[in-house]
Structure 1
Amino acid sequence: MSYPQHSSDMKPNIDDIEMTGVKKIEGRYSYEDALEITGHGKYNYGLLLTCFVLIIAMGIDIFGLGIIVTASTCDLNLTLQQIGILSSMSFAGIIVMSYPWGYLSDTRGRKLVLMWAMGGSFVSSAISSLSPTWQVLAALRFISSALSSAAESATYALIGECCGTRVRAKYMLLITSALMITPTLYYITAYLIMKLDFTIYLVGIVYRPWRLLTLIMALPLGISALLLWYYSESPKFLANVGRGDDAVKVLKRMYVVNGHDADKFPVKEVYLEDGNEEAVGVFSLRSLWVQIAPLFKPPLLWKTVLLYYLTFVTYIANNSYAIILPTIFNIFFTSYATSAAGASFCDLFRLSNSTDGEVTPVNTEVSACKNTIEDNTIWAGCAHGLSFFILNALISQCASKRKPLTIVILIIAAIAGAAIDNTGDAISGLILFYIFLTTAMVFGVISSYFVDLYPTSYRGMIACLGMMVARLSAFAGTNLVSGAMTDSCSIALYSGAAVVLSGAVAAIFLPSDRQIHSS
């Protein structure tokens, strides 16, 4: 930050001091300047790792449900339509709680919300391993995802407010990389656990490997809640709600953990350059409205509409398929083994239809219930997660080019989506399907815009409402796709490609990074 220079024979008056950022008052710094003084070291790397685990835990809880549903298909006697309903419960939970989490994150604190949410999600997810019916499993996973969904907004706000501008966008994209690697983690875990062969009769249920898998997949939720104990609340949040002294204490702790001498920490007071400072009020419908209303009024209205449309595009095009991806892979490889030469991607899903039009449960045996998952399904899922993790990590190195990256990714995904069923070959169609799912690369970019384009008071709310838009899209899309993949596969893919292309057009109106940093 630069300041106007005064000649040596002139003394600046108090107005000059106010106008030049108040930094000339000893010990008083803007928040961004104070954050830069804390440096970049162990605290930041540790918090990044903790946030990485938080996102992994949330991703496994929400998207790992797909592999649990696939593994439990025989035990719970599921049809493909029921698989779609059960899988969509993850999104339903997020839809219900996105608004409250946004409010609580902005008024009670990022860390506080995350600790309670992840701890509660762990309990619900662990109990779901004992579900006697698919309806009970759906209810418990609804609760679990409703709680863990706090991570998707509060985590980005926490890490974004605790690292400097030089690495902020990069960290946002790296955090998104955690979401990309979660499929690899739960596919490998599923492969190892589902190879076990045991049956334990408990009160009202039969305990088989898929239940153990459910319990193990809940563990990251509890681990992430424990890791958060070490770290402090976002100092920017503290400053924003009038707890300036606490904000300085947290900044000083970051300064010390990063390897500096506590006695040399110069910051005595911080102020927010955006001028927002609000007290924490009592929860009420009016307080919720006061928190959300400014997002849909000028000057924030256009930003909100644009980012929410991009959120809608990327999540309906990606999550609608991602949540039932294990089932899609299972059907694909099962049908591919018996299909005629020259069968297209969508032909394989038509083959999964029985003669009466009902979708039969996947991996069922009449005489003995053995919940298994095709090995090729596991390897395909691992390849999906690992390749997306690497790709997103590479893209994070180009964090300063967010706008062109978004446009290019969406255009490539749209072309791939339109071509999936036109290659005349199932395997090449599967490869193009992978490319179509790269819309996930845009998730982190959108989240970073939520942090950069909105005042501190609204970041949690704008991100949580964004997740509500995302999951409403995904909830509707999942239930449509679960039926359409067998009956109208081509139409579903063409529609998805058209929506993604419209997103690429919308992305043209995003501000460039140069415009954001100069404003």
Structure 2
Amino acid sequence: MSPNQHFDFVSGPPSAKTEKSDSAESNKCNSGKSTATLSEQSDKSKNCNNLECRDIHDSLDFDNAVQLTGYGLFHYRLVAVCALCLLNNGLQNGLAAYVFPAAQCDLHLTSAEIGYLNVAFLVGGVCSSFLWGAIADLIGRRRVLLYTLLISSACTLAGALQQHYIGLCVCRFFNGFLTGAAGSITFNYVSEFHAPQHRSKSVCYSGVFYTSAWLLLPVLSFLILPIPAARLGGVSAWRLFLAVVAVPECLAGVCLIFLPESPKYAAEKDRDKALRILSDMYAENRRCDAGEFPVKHLRAESTDIYDIEEAMDVVCVGKVKRLLGEMLTQIRKIFQRPLVYMTALISFIMFCNMFGYFGLGLWLPELFMRFEQFEERFPNKSASVQYLASMNFVKNATCVPEFNAKLFRTTLSIGVSSLLGNIVSGWLSGRLSLKVIPFVTMFVGGVSSGIIYWLNSAWQNLAVACIFQTVMATANITLGGVVVELFPTKVAGIALCLTLFVGRVSGMLSNLMFGLLMDKQAAIPIFTVSAMLLIGTVFCLFIPNSNAANKNASSARNKLTEVIRKQSISVAVIVAGNDKQIV
């Protein structure tokens, strides 16, 4: 590699024309102009056809270029497909509470086996947490989503055909293994089609569709599961339920065929390909020809020391071995400075969040049922949570699923409140600092979870459950947006998967604690959740603002670039000296 080539690796082509163009662009677009000014220029470039007008944005970095594509039909189509991905993720995570009790008599399941089916799904998600993030950072977000959704749909249909508990357990494991991709990569995928100021907001609004699944599940259960097998030709209703759940999975996978790869990810690999994607987005949003896109060249956004190491370390190895090596490299990056601090901080906050969200949150319906049964047996009396936890209630032993109208309304109430919370957080995310929404929601969750211990009626439990589930779901989705906002594109996928991995482990630990102690010492798990959430609240104060993080990253990149340029000049002097000696 020649000195000039080394210099080009950092600063681009060395031609005088390009340098002049870049200098002119820097004077025009980067001399203190605001985002509003850039938008006005975008509108101006849309309405004029002469070459001079088009050349205003001839060369831009990705963030400014994606802003010029506007927001229109393409983004609506993108959000619709990602909505199906997240809806499927919510359905897979919540269907166990409805399907397995209905399948209990058909497959002769014991309570322990139903618990193992739930654990199989969670273990599958834990096992794949690192895998999908690393692969998505290496081969692209779209390909991972497409393949996992289609295969998961096949596994769901296979589960509907199982005649034995073991087969269903294997299918649930692979559902959890594959669903982990949609649960994490979708947020990266949808956010990377948006301008910087809209990325966090797009993640929060996307969470609405995940929450919508918790509204759809009780409705589907109410409509499908009570249907007798005789009306379905001898097929059990729970099998039809699983077949219906597989539909959005398959549909989302098929729709992804017609969407491009994330342009932000493509810009890291091939800027020409990214430019073509942005041109197509511009054409679809503006309803014009792709050739009218005013940006003709994407400038390199940054120079990363890891990129230089990878570029200098080119070896020929087997495809599988190379993939595993690159996965380990991606994981190693987020545990090195300066990202290790952010990795530890967000992972711990997610641990606290999901300790309550997937711990106490999954036990609230059981607690509501105990209040209902107590009030039916002892009208006009009240009971504490500790007293209800110690009571043994006889459950329905028939094989006909029963749907309590009050439980149906309760589930819908919690789902609606969570949905509204996601919508409000999406509206606020573009107006508040990154740390505000996680801090407020985690604090409210910690206080409301502690209050649960002193409840003495079903309506009080419902009110607190709505508050708790709303703030926990909002905090969970918002933390995903924080990861997407603060981590570099090349490691954002693996970083998000790491935080979800830590969260799923905490959810399993919390469920284990509730299962062992809820019937004996209910105060211990309830107040442990409250304490964990309040501790997580304190750590939310240390979440940096995206502007500060970007400023620090920019400063580090500038220093690195300057060092490399100096090294390039030194190499050029040495080479020139050697040339003179040879002559």
TM-score (norm 1): 0.87
Q: Could you tell me whether the CA contact under 8 Å between 1:190 and 1:213 is conserved in 2? A: yes
Q: Residue 523 of structure 2 is aligned with which of 490, 502, 505?
A: 490
1:382-419 CA-to-partner distances (Å, cap 9, x unmatched) read 11112100121012111032312211111111111111
- State the partner residue of 1:388: 418
- State the partner residue of 2:165: 134
Task: Work out which structure has the larger RCO, using CA pairs closer than 8 Å and 6 or more positions apart in sequence.
Answer: 1
- State the partner residue of 1:425: 457
1:4-41 CA-to-partner distances (Å, cap 9, x unmatched) read xxxxxxx9976983994997997332011110111111
1:70 deviates by: 3.1
- State the partner residue of 1:156: 187
Q: Could you tell me whether the CA contact under 8 Å between 1:240 and 1:457 is conserved in 2? A: yes
Deviates most, 482-491 or 403-412: 482-491
Q: Could you tell me whether the CA contact under 8 Å between 1:342 and 1:426 is conserved in 2? A: no
- Report SS of the residue matched to 2:229: coil
1:81 deviates by: 4.7
1:287 deviates by: 2.1
Query: Is residue 337 of structure 2 the alignment partner of residue 309 of structure 1?
Result: no
1:77 deviates by: 4.7
Q: Counterpart of 1:342 in structure 2: which amino acid?
A: S
Deviates most, 253-262 or 102-111: 253-262
Determine the C-alpha separation between the residues in 1 that align with 2:114 and 2:293: 56
Query: Is residue 392 of structure 2 the alignment partner of residue 352 of structure 1?
Result: yes
What is the 5 A alignment of 1:16-415? 17=23, 20=26, 27-78=58-109, 80-199=111-230, 207-241=235-269, 243-259=270-286, 260-275=288-303, 282-284=319-321, 285-323=324-362, 329-339=368-378, 341-352=381-392, 362-365=395-398, 369-399=399-429, 400-401=431-432, 402-415=434-447
Q: Residue 445 of structure 1 is aligned with which of 469, 478, 488?
A: 478
- Which runs of 5 or more residues in structure 2 are unaligned? 1-16, 31-54, 553-583
Q: Counterpart of 2:508 in structure 1: which amino acid?
A: F
Q: Counterpart of 1:352 in structure 2: which amino acid?
A: N
Q: Give the 3 Å change call, closer, same or farther, for CA 237–288 of structure 1 in structure 2.
A: same
Determine the C-alpha separation between the residues in 1 that align with 2:279 and 2:19: 30
Deviates most, 497-506 or 43-52: 43-52
1:403-439 CA-to-partner distances (Å, cap 9, x unmatched) read 1221111111111111112133343134223323321
Q: Could you tell me whether the CA contact under 8 Å between 1:38 and 1:255 is conserved in 2? A: yes
Two-structure CA RMSD over aligned residues (Å): 2.9
1:49 deviates by: 1.8
Determine the C-alpha separation between the residues in 1 that align with 2:211 and 2:518: 23
1:513 deviates by: 4.8
Determine the C-alpha separation between the residues in 2 that align with 1:513 and 1:308: 17
1:501 deviates by: 0.5
1:446-497 CA-to-partner distances (Å, cap 9, x unmatched) read 1111111111110111111222111111222223323433333222111111
Aligned positions, number = 495
Determine the C-alpha separation between the residues in 1 that align with 2:177 and 2:236: 26
- State the partner residue of 2:538: 505
- Report SS of the residue matched to 2:465: helix
- State the partner residue of 1:8: none
Q: Give the 3 Å change call, closer, same or farther, for CA 272–158 of structure 1 in structure 2.
A: farther
Q: Give the 3 Å change call, closer, same or farther, for CA 489–130 of structure 1 in structure 2.
A: farther
1:137 deviates by: 2.0
Q: Could you tell me whether the CA contact under 8 Å between 1:232 and 1:250 is conserved in 2? A: yes
- Report SS of the residue matched to 2:101: helix
Q: Could you tell me whether the CA contact under 8 Å between 2:441 and 2:472 is conserved in 1? A: yes
Higher share in helix: 2
Q: Counterpart of 1:286 in structure 2: which amino acid?
A: G
Q: Could you tell me whether the CA contact under 8 Å between 1:291 and 1:458 is conserved in 2? A: yes
Q: Counterpart of 1:17 in structure 2: which amino acid?
A: S
Determine the C-alpha separation between the residues in 1 that align with 2:364 and 2:170: 21
- Report SS of the residue matched to 1:487: coil
1:190-231 CA-to-partner distances (Å, cap 9, x unmatched) read 0111231224899xxx73212211221222111111221221
- State the partner residue of 2:576: none
Determine the C-alpha separation between the residues in 2 that align with 1:324 and 1:168: 33
Q: Could you tell me whether the CA contact under 8 Å between 2:199 and 2:485 is conserved in 1? A: no
Deviates most, 498-507 or 324-333: 324-333
Q: Give the 3 Å change call, closer, same or farther, for CA 327–130 of structure 1 in structure 2.
A: farther
Determine the C-alpha separation between the residues in 1 that align with 2:364 and 2:68: 46
- Report SS of the residue matched to 1:149: helix
Q: Counterpart of 1:134 in structure 2: which amino acid?
A: Y
- State the partner residue of 2:466: 434
Q: Give the 3 Å change call, closer, same or farther, for CA 114–177 of structure 1 in structure 2.
A: same
Q: Could you tell me whether the CA contact under 8 Å between 1:345 and 1:426 is conserved in 2? A: no
TM-score (norm 2): 0.78
- State the partner residue of 2:501: 468
